[in-house]
Structure formats: C-alpha cells, structure tokens
Amino acid sequence: METPRVFQSVFTMLALVVLGCFVTGTVLPKSFLIGYNDTHGVENVVVENLQFNGRRILNAEAGNFMIEKARGVRLVESRN
C-alpha cells in the first residue's frame, strides 16, 4: 500500500469564489477562512448567494464565519 503524500507547500490563495451555498438546519455551522500567516494568507474572496434556511447571509457575523489572515472577503447577493 502506498503511503499518502502530505502537501507541505505554503502559498497565498487569491481570487476564491464560492457560488450558491444553501444551508438548512437548526444551527448555522461555523465556517473558517484562515490564512497560514500574514505573508501567506487568503485574498479577494467572494461568497455569492449564501443562504441559511432561505435567508440571505450578507456579512461574516451573520454567516458565522471566523476570518483570520484574510483580506478582501465579501459576501454578496446573487448577480442573477
């Protein structure tokens, strides 16, 4: 059996887009968007059309997000 490889590179994630997340349930789970460090973080993230039980989520607090070492994170309504 082959030993799994571990990805050990450090990089910056740029221009991440998440489209159309529809969450249902009694509690909105915590979401984490955390960069590695101040030099290798996450930049320019758009979460479009996030909904919890049909209610639009347009900010990190309402979406139960923990955001660290990330810049340019936006939660927006659908463009359609």
8/49 Cα distance (integer angstroms): 33
Rounded to an integer, the average pLDDT of 20-46 is 92
pTM above 0.95, yes or no: no
Tokens of 40: 């290798």
Rounded to an integer, the average pLDDT of 50-58 is 96
58, 71 contact by CB (below 8 A): no
Query: Residue 43 falls within a domain, yes or no?
Result: yes
Query: Residue 5 falls within a domain, yes or no?
Result: no
Range of the domain at 30: 13-76
Query: Residue 1 falls within a domain, yes or no?
Result: no
The mean predicted confidence, pLDDT, of the chain is: 89
Residue type, 53: N
Query: Residue 6 falls within a domain, yes or no?
Result: no
- Confidence class for position 61, pLDDT limits 50, 70, 90: very high
What is the number of residues in the chain? 80
Query: Residue 50 falls within a domain, yes or no?
Result: yes
Query: Residue 46 falls within a domain, yes or no?
Result: yes
CB neighbourhood size of 41 (10 A): 19
- What does the pLDDT read at residue 13? 82
Count of structural domains, the chain: 1
Of the given ranges (6-10, 41-45, 74-78), which has the lowest mean pLDDT?
6-10
